[in-house]
């Protein structure tokens, strides 16, 4: 098997070690008095039981189902899966940018603050300031009616209160930081005058302008050639490591995940079907869906004309999900029990889980 599991960590949050306890009780502090218990570490991002339902012509459709995960400050987390599995919807839910009429239940906490109950004004204060997002398509993410400099300066003036001159100077520094060629001249350029890779660097500069605690990157290399993809991913990695922020990366590229994130969520039909440390997930491939994604990846050295493996069928209609496992209709290992009831979450390794009745026996 190729060494795709050799994950390259970008950063790792420091762990808090509890004080040693003596036989008679807590460790003594200065003067012999009991030392105070260390405060529990609050995750940077904690999602618990998140469900999102959208109104459609066929009635309400649940697009995210019981989504739960957490991230420490400085941690890198990836979400992978086919189109329509809920990856981008997860990012929109975290940003508070769900379609009109969406119903949300469960919890989203940023540094302990509940986000699902915030009004639009409070969410606007968070977006750009504490949560930055690199959108999937840089041409549509940028406003064609405003210059590059003005778009980078906007969050700096809104959230950091900079003057026009100071915001322009900071915008230039950000463009230089993301290594945009001829940065000073680009400040007065329009989006259509830049290439795809250059526009993506501008989007990254906007997302990082206020030094957010959390960066969401939704397919940040879509429509870019391979060389530019690598440059953009390396740039995101360097900037995240330098600023100590958390990174949530959404992609369909297994190689990108192996090289970029420490922990991985595999989503299917709006639900996480496998999760764990990236290296462990790729080494174990506990869920049949994860195995199918891995088998379908392009590989160097294949003979010309070789057909790639495919997963039969397609992602099921979220408005008509089966009673049991949503993947059962496409799974070669499915048995009657798979269609009878939703599969339980099975522990297949340390901090590694899969939602499959056969996951525990995966070699």
Looking at the domain assignment, is residue 27 inside a domain?
no
pLDDT value for 61: 95
Query: 80 in a domain, yes or no?
Result: no
Task: Tell me the pLDDT tens digit for each residue of 28-47.
Answer: 454 555 555 555 688 999 99
**pLDDT tens, 83-110?**
889 999 999 999 999 999 999 999 999 9
**For 340-354, how does the pLDDT look when each residue is reduced to its tens digit (9 = 90+)?**
999 999 999 999 999
pTM for this model (two decimals): 0.84
Residue 315 in any domain: the answer is yes
Task: Count other C-beta atoms under 10 Å from residue 129's C-beta.
Answer: 17
Residue 192 lies in a domain: no
Q: Quote the distance between the C-alpha of residue 234 and its chain's center.
A: 16
Model confidence pLDDT, tens digit, residues 42-62: 899 999 999 999 999 989 999
pLDDT at 281: 95
pLDDT at residue 297, rounded to an integer: 82
Q: Could you write out the three-class secondary structure of 274-332?
A: EEEEHHHHHHHCCCHHHHHHHHCCCCCCCCCCCCCCCCCCCCCCHHHCCCCCCCHHHCC
Domain membership flag for residue 255: no
* Range(s) of the domain holding residue 269: 262-299+309-363
Residue 353 belongs to a domain: yes
**362 found inside a domain:** yes
Number of domains in the chain: 1
Question: 16 or 146, which is more confident?
Answer: 146
Please count the other Cβ atoms lying within 10 Å of the Cβ belonging to residue 46. 18
- Collect all residues with Cβ–Cβ distance below 8 Å to 277 and sequence separation of at least 6: 7, 262, 263, 264, 351, 352
Mean pLDDT, to the nearest integer, of 336-343? 92
Across the strands, what pairs with 48? 107
Whether 151 maps to a domain, the answer reads no
User: What was the pLDDT predicted at 25?
Assistant: 43
Distance in angstroms (rounded) separating the CA atoms of residues 214 and 110: 9
Would you say 107 and 291 are in contact if contact means Cβ atoms under 8 Å apart?
A: no
Interatomic CA distance for residues 178 and 219, integer angstroms: 18
């Amino acid at each position: 098997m190729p060494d795709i599991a050799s994950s390259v960590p970008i950063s790792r949050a420091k762990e808090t070690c509890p004080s040693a306890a003596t036989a008679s009780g807590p460790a003594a502090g200065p003067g012999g008095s009991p030392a105070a218990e260390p405060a529990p570490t609050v995750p940077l991002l904690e999602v618990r039981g998140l469900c999102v339902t959208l109104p459609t012509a066929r009635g309400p459709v649940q697009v995210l189902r019981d989504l739960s995960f957490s991230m420490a400050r400085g941690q890198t987390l990836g979400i992978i899966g086919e189109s329509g599995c809920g990856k981008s919807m997860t990012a929109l839910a975290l940003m508070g940018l769900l379609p009109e009429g969406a119903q949300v239940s469960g919890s989203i906490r940023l540094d302990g603050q509940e986000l699902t109950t915030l009004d639009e004004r409070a969410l606007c204060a968070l977006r750009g300031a504490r949560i930055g997002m690199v959108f999937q398509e840089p041409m549509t993410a940028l406003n064609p009616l405003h210059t590059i400099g003005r778009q980078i300066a906007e969050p700096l003036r809104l959230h950091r209160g900079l003057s026009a001159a100071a915001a322009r100077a900071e915008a230039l520094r950000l463009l230089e930081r993301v290594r945009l060629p001829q940065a000073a001249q680009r400040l007065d350029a329009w989006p259509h005058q830049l290439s795809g890779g250059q526009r993506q660097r501008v989007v990254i500069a906007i997302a990082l302008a206020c030094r957010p605690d959390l960066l969401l990157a939704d397919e940040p290399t879509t429509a870019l050639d391979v060389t530019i993809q690598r440059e953009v991913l390396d740039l995101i990695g360097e900037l995240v490591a330098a600023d100590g922020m958390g990174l949530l990366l959404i992609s369909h590229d297994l190689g990108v995940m192996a090289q970029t994130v420490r922990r991985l969520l595999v989503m299917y039909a709006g639900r996480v079907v496998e999760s764990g440390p990236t290296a462990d997930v790729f080494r174990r491939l506990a869920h049949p869906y994860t195995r199918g994604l891995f088998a379908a990846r392009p590989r160097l050295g294949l003979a010309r004309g070789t057909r790639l493996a495919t997963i039969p069928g397609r992602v099921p209609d979220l408005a008509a999900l089966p009673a049991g496992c949503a993947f059962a209709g496409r799974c070669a290992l499915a048995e009657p029990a798979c269609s009878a009831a939703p599969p339980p979450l099975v522990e297949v390794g340390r901090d590694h889980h899969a939602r499959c009745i056969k996951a525990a026996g995966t070699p």
